[in-house]
Structure 1
Amino acid sequence: MQTQSFVLICDLKDTEEAKLGYDECHKAVAPEIIASIRDAGVLQMTIYRWENRLAMIMVTDEAFSFEEKAKMDLSNPAVQEWEAFLSQYQTNLPGTPPHWRWALTEKVFDFQT
């Protein structure tokens, strides 16, 4: 099976409340949210945090597309509620449009043996 890998970044508000709140709500993500991620073709999703900067690594199947995932998310009330809840902790990345949360990064180096 062919896979794709993506790295996205996001900033949290620079407060202890935002950092702790974001971490806490990811300790037990609702099954509906996990199902929506899986249904979109995401095989693995990992989020790392350094201070208020988040990095998400996604491994997807070869058919995955951000456009299709966005359509699926817009039609899923549980995902909309989850995203609205998380927005209390998140803020815009510098130089991004209003309400912009996760930004796709560009790969600049790749080492493989």
Structure 2
Amino acid sequence: MAYTKRFCYSCDLKDNPDLITKYKAYHSSGNAWPEITKSIKDAGIVDMQIYLTGNRMFMIMEVDDTFNPETKAEMDKNNPKVQEWETLMDTFQQRLPWAKKGEKWVEMERIFKL
């Protein structure tokens, strides 16, 4: 499936092996809440992957031309199930030191492309 744009973000997990294991379990195949995956797809995100090294995560999103980050944020804000998921995920995640107030996933700057 074609996409029009890629977004990359980073966030840290709390540096606790038990919490990291639980977070990974929530994100293993078939374990993410169906309402969450639906909200992702409904926003125009056609593929999303999260990678982990230590406690640092990298999220790669491939989106179609309907995707708008501000619209997605507003949709999430008004979706009680997404808010419940985000509250749960906050027990595992910690903000990057340079994150803006209220920002969890920080958009990454591409500095190289082959």
Shorter-normalised TM-score: what interval?
A: over 0.9
Tell me the SS of whatever aligns to 2:60: strand
> d(CA) in 1 for partners of 2:8 and 2:100?
19
- Give the CA deviation at 1:85: 0.2
- What residue identity is the alignment partner of 2:58? A
- Provide the aligned length of Structure 1 versus Structure 2: 111
Of 35, 38, 45 in structure 1, the residue corresponding to residue 38 of structure 2 is: 35
Tell me the SS of whatever aligns to 2:113: coil
- Give the CA deviation at 1:63: 2.5
User: Structure 1: which 5+ runs fail to align?
Assistant: none
TM-score by length of 1: 0.92
- Give the CA deviation at 1:98: 4.6
- CA contact 1:92–1:100 (8 Å) conserved in 2: yes
> d(CA) in 2 for partners of 1:74 and 1:63?
18
Cα deviation digits, residues 19-65 of structure 1 (max 9, x gap): 11110111211111110000000000000000100000000002211
Q: Percent identity?
A: 41
> d(CA) in 2 for partners of 1:47 and 1:68?
21
Segments ≥4 residues shifted beyond 4 Å: none
- What residue identity is the alignment partner of 2:54? E
Partner of 2:71: 68
Of 85, 109, 112 in structure 2, the residue corresponding to residue 109 of structure 1 is: 112
Cα deviation digits, residues 53-107 of structure 1 (max 9, x gap): 0000000002211100001001111100000000000011012245431000011
TM-score by length of 2: 0.91
